[in-house]
Structure 1
Amino acid sequence: MPEKIPRVELTPAAADLVRRLRAEHGPLMFHQSGGCCDGSAPMCYPDGEFRTGDSDVLLAELQVEGVTEPVTFWMSRSQYAVWSHTRLIVDVVEGRGSGFSLEAPQGVRFLTRSRLVES
């Protein structure tokens, strides 16, 4: 049986930032809404701070080394319809993103890269 390809993964730089943010803010979650501008970037929040509902899809519960609880990754259902054939790779780059995401004050931002997956 072939290994299941993860829907979402973190680059080493993103995992390192998640560990630092977890130490400062507690359990974390990501949400990617697909809105304009920074809304299409993954936003990192304290777990539960962003309310999810029927219009959202839980794509992954990421296990990050050094973090005790999984970091959930949510996406709006409409955005998922567009990205459903891809594997999302969360990276971190220099530059200021949204003021709502926890990494914004650090002068970096999370960014989603993607790779096509075969069904």
Structure 2
Amino acid sequence: MFSDSNINRLPLVFKTDAGKNYFQFHLNGQLASLEYYMKEKSKIVLTRLEISKYLNQVEVGSALIERVLEYVYQADFKVVPIDLEVKKYLKKNSRYQKLVAYDGPSNRHTKPVA
């Protein structure tokens, strides 16, 4: 198993395959990926998390989501969470709520997507 410190040292890989974009971790020949696409110029839509059945899905999934959200923060983007696990992570980790894009026109009455 991987400790948090080992997972956090893994490089976050960006991959495009068959017209789809992914953030990925490679661990001992196994793969964890989070599919995404860009919306407008500053929103990253996170659509599907997939983790090898041979990995600790909760631990690796949380680490991958966190690393992607840190990337989103550093790049000054917003995130639109579609994947259910990403939505759950955002609800549990309020420090990332400021990254969530709103689902409608900008006004004070719109609600976050997550």
Q: Shorter-chain-normalised TM-score: which range? A: under 0.3
- Relative to the length of structure 2, the TM-score reads 0.23
Q: Per residue, is there more strand in 1 or in 2?
A: 1
Q: Per residue, is there more helix in 1 or in 2?
A: 2
Q: Highest relative contact order (Cα 8 Å, sep 6+), 1 or 2?
A: 1
- Relative to the length of structure 1, the TM-score reads 0.22
Structure number with larger C-alpha Rg: 2
